[in-house]
Structure 1
Amino acid sequence: MDDFLSDIYTILFAKWILLQEVPDFETKVNEDYTEIHFYNKHADIEIVFNPLNIIEFKATNTQSGETEYYLHFQMKTLNHTMKLFKELTHYMKHIGESPTIKILLCCSGGLTTSYFAMKMNEASKLMSLPYVTEASGYNNLYYVAQDYDVVLLAPQISYLHAKACDILKDKIVLNVPPEVFAKYDVKAIFTLVKESLEIKKNQSDQKIPLPVMLDVEIKHKTLALSIFRNKQSIHVAYRVYDKNQEILLDNEVIKPIVNLQDICDIIDIARLHYPRIRYIGIATPGIIDDGYVSSTSLVGWETPERLEDVLTERYHLPVCICNDVNAAAVGYYSSQDQVSSLAFLFQPIHALSGAGIIVDNCLLHGMHNLVGEVQFLPLDLTEDKMTLSMSPEGCIEVVSRTLVSIISLLSPEELVLYCDFIPHVLPLYEEMATLIPKKYIPPITKVDNMQEYILLGTMILSTTQN
């Protein structure tokens, strides 16, 4: 599409939006019509028209301050743009119909908190507060808490507060004061929750880029994308690196469903800002077998053609699609200069694990690119892997046996672990020592930000494999 038609379509789209009825939301427009807001007490939906006909959709939870939906794209066709707006309005309907803050009240068994949770829900309705509260026993806390914003611990389990904070790093975890719990003082609880939400809203989450310790030659600008699931949304983080590994562009898209067109929109935006991008790398969960992708996070990736070929033909640039844990292994390896062999294990919550393996300075792939698919290991476990991955204790059982299997086969110099349910490696090390002599266990490193390693590794793989 030429610039003139793009300008016209963008103006028509802005006027079309203002004619749409969005139930339960009020509308506000700035003077030059470059910003349109739909808002209510639960959410602020912002539509911004930027230079070069780049349009942004952003949905912010007004209670938590979190961005729950973010998308930006350049106007190509009215049909495509209207379709994206309809996706946004569907999300707006969902956020407008339900309370935006979910509270989990936890005690040892769940019985003593059920009545308190009922009182809190009654008060929320009377006071028109956007809170919904449910009760749970401690045994299910860590898995259940993934769907909640705030976790309240009853006095009888307040001694577990530090452990809960370690494991539930992205949640607000609070102890309920004994006098508040004894009196069922709902007003005091809501005050505590509100103050904690305000503190979290004002905290900044600054990322420090990883250093590249190894001599990696990057000749041109590179676009790296990483696709991952978080709660009910898919996140696509992306960066543009220059030849000195400096980050020129750092952003992400957040949507309930991500398809191939969304990936193309991101590539188009990045190339619009940096036309001299020469390499594109995409890291995704799943098995990548000779360019064919099997991913549980994306819609439309299982194409009859090699996906790398489809994107290479579209952009006339080399495209590298890699497994996300393999990329993390390469990223970690490149950020240090101490070892030449390592295994990077990712154990997600209520999902199967995967590993990236580096031996003698080389990432192992194997036939069908199956190296590291440790989900297929026939481990001797007390329960199935999916059930065990729902608790910290279960994760230690699965991870310990998986790592011992890797040691037995490859004996790497270092083990690297990303697992939210295992905040410290000592219990893991002790469990592994019951399965294999201690002298054979290499150093175990726990990382807390896998995304940094994935993006760095994707950048390196896309430039060195093409």
Structure 2
Amino acid sequence: MDDFLSDIYTILFAKWILLQEVPDFETKVNEDYTEIHFYNKHADIEIVFNPLNIIEFKATNTQSGEIEYYLHFQMKTLNHAIKLFKELTHYMKHIGESPTIKILLCCSGGLTTSYFAMKMNEASKLMSLPYVTEASGYNNLYYVAQDYDVVLLAPQISYLHAKACDILKDKIVLNVPPEVFAKYDVKAVFTLVKESLEIKKNQSEQKIPLPVMLDVEIKHKTLALSIFRNKQSIHVAYRVYDKNQEILLDNEVIKPIVNLQDICDIIDIARLHYPRIRYIGIATPGIIDDGYVSSTSLVGWETPERLEDVLTERYHLPVCICNDVNAAAVGYYSSQDQVSSLAFLFQPVHAISGAGIIVDNCLLHGMHNLVGEVQFLPLDLTEDKMTLSMSPEGCIEVVARYLVSIISLLSPEELVFYCDFIPHVLPLYEEMATLIPKKYIPPITKVDNMQEYILLGTMILSTTQN
């Protein structure tokens, strides 16, 4: 697009936004009209107009401090910009309608906490606090807690605090003091929750790039994208690497759904900053069969078109579409120099598993790119796989059988896994030892940050397969 037209469209878009009525939100604009804020007690919506006509949308939960919606795009057409703004305003209404902080109060059976939860909800309403509390028994804690921000453990199960913290790493997990629980001291609980939320808000997670231990030749700048679900949102993490594997750009888009246009917006932004990008790699859940993406479980992402062809034709650059767990396997393999064969297994919460397999220094694909789709293994389980994946004990049962099956077929030198519900290797190893002699079990490694391996592996696959 002509730069002059892009400038005009951006100015018109900013003025159009200011003419829109957004119910339940107040509006604030800075002096040069480069920042527009819509805000209320639930959320702060920030629209920023940057140089080169790059526009940012960001929605922050004002209580938790979490960014729940984020995207950026370069102005191309007014229709596209208006469509994205309408999507944002729809999400803004969702924030206003739902409680900001969800609290789960848990005891051994759920009965003794039900009354306390009721008192907390009554107090929240009277005090105009953005909290909603529900009670649950311990048996369902780990699966139910996925939809909550704060988990409170009653005194009778306070001894489980360390285990709950291990498994629910991204949640605030607190013990309710016995004297507070006995008196139903709602005010003391709210103070405890508020202080913990403030501490979490001020914490920042540092990303440490993985080293590339193997001799991988990267000749040009590469853009790597990873699409994944987190809670109710879909995230697209992306990075630009230079030929020395240094990270030049590291960012993320967060939306309720992701479609092809969102991916194109990210590629456009990355190429605007780094025009000499020569390779594009996209890691996604699902089966990648001859460039077609299926079985992703991500709404709006599956496409009847061959994704590689669509993007290659648009950008005239080689594009690699890869399975996310295959990318993780390549990323892990490239960050070590001890083994030439390994299996990387990903067991998500209440979802199907997947594996990436490397044998003799090569990633295995197979017909229809089906290698590693362990979901099709006919395992002998006590319950169905989806039910088992809702609890730590169930995940151990499923993952142990997947890994033993892989050992029986391929006998890799190392097993690697990522599963939020299995915080330690030992219980998994002990379960595997009931299925296969210990001498056949190779070293097992648990990783805590799968995205680092996915992005690194995507970068390597996109440059070595083209």
Deviations 1:22-75 (A, max 9, x none): 111111000000000001111100000000000000000010100000000000
Deviation of residue 296 (structure 1)?
A: 2.6
Asked if residue 74 in structure 1 is aligned to residue 77 in structure 2, the reply is no
Using a 3 Å threshold, how does the CA distance of structure 1 residues 101 and 40 change in structure 2: closer, same or farther?
Answer: same
Point out the more displaced range, 91-100 or 214-223. 91-100
CA distance, structure 2, for counterparts of residue 129 and residue 292 of structure 1: 47
Deviation of residue 306 (structure 1)?
A: 1.6
Question: Partner residue of 2:91?
Answer: 91
Deviation of residue 303 (structure 1)?
A: 3.6
CA distance, structure 2, for counterparts of residue 165 and residue 385 of structure 1: 24
Using a 3 Å threshold, how does the CA distance of structure 1 residues 205 and 403 change in structure 2: closer, same or farther?
Answer: same
CA distance, structure 1, for counterparts of residue 304 and residue 405 of structure 2: 35
Q: SS state of the match for residue 238, structure 1?
A: strand
Deviation of residue 98 (structure 1)?
A: 1.8
Q: Please give the root-mean-square deviation of Cα atoms over the aligned residues, in Å.
A: 0.7
Structure 2 alignment gaps of length 5 or more: none
CA distance, structure 1, for counterparts of residue 383 and residue 92 of structure 2: 40
Deviation of residue 431 (structure 1)?
A: 0.5
Q: SS state of the match for residue 401, structure 1?
A: helix
CA distance, structure 2, for counterparts of residue 431 and residue 257 of structure 1: 38
Deviation of residue 99 (structure 1)?
A: 1.5
Using a 3 Å threshold, how does the CA distance of structure 1 residues 189 and 146 change in structure 2: closer, same or farther?
Answer: same
Using a 3 Å threshold, how does the CA distance of structure 1 residues 300 and 137 change in structure 2: closer, same or farther?
Answer: closer
Q: SS state of the match for residue 216, structure 1?
A: coil
CA distance, structure 2, for counterparts of residue 451 and residue 199 of structure 1: 25
Q: SS state of the match for residue 293, structure 2?
A: strand
CA contact (8 A) 2:258 2:301 kept: no
Point out the more displaced range, 294-303 or 227-236. 294-303
Deviations 1:221-266 (A, max 9, x none): 0000000000000000000000000000000000001000000000
CA contact (8 A) 1:168 1:420 kept: yes
Structure 1 segments of 4+ aligned residues over 3 angstroms from their partners: 297-305
Structure 1 alignment gaps of length 5 or more: none
CA distance, structure 2, for counterparts of residue 333 and residue 262 of structure 1: 30
Deviation of residue 302 (structure 1)?
A: 4.0
Deviation of residue 97 (structure 1)?
A: 1.5
CA contact (8 A) 1:326 1:363 kept: yes
Deviations 1:435-461 (A, max 9, x none): 000000000000000000000000000
Q: SS state of the match for residue 397, structure 2?
A: helix
Q: SS state of the match for residue 207, structure 1?
A: coil
Question: How many corresponding residue pairs?
Answer: 466
CA distance, structure 1, for counterparts of residue 119 and residue 305 of structure 2: 57
Deviation of residue 192 (structure 1)?
A: 0.1
Deviation of residue 301 (structure 1)?
A: 4.5
CA contact (8 A) 2:108 2:138 kept: yes
CA contact (8 A) 2:104 2:145 kept: yes
- The 5-angstrom pairing of residues 206-245 of structure 1 reads 206-245=206-245
CA contact (8 A) 1:260 1:299 kept: no
Deviation of residue 295 (structure 1)?
A: 4.3
Using a 3 Å threshold, how does the CA distance of structure 1 residues 338 and 185 change in structure 2: closer, same or farther?
Answer: same
Using a 3 Å threshold, how does the CA distance of structure 1 residues 355 and 11 change in structure 2: closer, same or farther?
Answer: same
CA contact (8 A) 1:48 1:57 kept: yes
CA distance, structure 2, for counterparts of residue 278 and residue 186 of structure 1: 58
CA contact (8 A) 1:259 1:298 kept: no
CA contact (8 A) 1:34 1:50 kept: yes
CA contact (8 A) 1:106 1:137 kept: yes
CA distance, structure 2, for counterparts of residue 326 and residue 252 of structure 1: 21
CA contact (8 A) 1:228 1:297 kept: no
Q: SS state of the match for residue 439, structure 1?
A: helix
CA distance, structure 1, for counterparts of residue 100 and residue 315 of structure 2: 40
CA distance, structure 2, for counterparts of residue 225 and residue 257 of structure 1: 16
Deviations 1:62-98 (A, max 9, x none): 1010000000000011011000000000010010112
Q: Percent identity?
A: 98
Deviations 1:189-225 (A, max 9, x none): 0000000000000001110000000000000000000
TM-score normalized by the length of structure 1? 0.99
Deviations 1:322-356 (A, max 9, x none): 00000000000000000000000000000010000
Deviations 1:405-451 (A, max 9, x none): 00000000000010000000100000000000000000000000000
- The 5-angstrom pairing of residues 239-254 of structure 1 reads 239-254=239-254
CA contact (8 A) 2:57 2:70 kept: yes
CA contact (8 A) 1:344 1:355 kept: yes
Deviations 1:170-195 (A, max 9, x none): 00000000000000000000000000
Deviations 1:363-387 (A, max 9, x none): 0000000000000000000000000
Deviations 1:294-317 (A, max 9, x none): 143545554443210110000000
CA distance, structure 2, for counterparts of residue 141 and residue 357 of structure 1: 33
CA contact (8 A) 1:229 1:297 kept: no
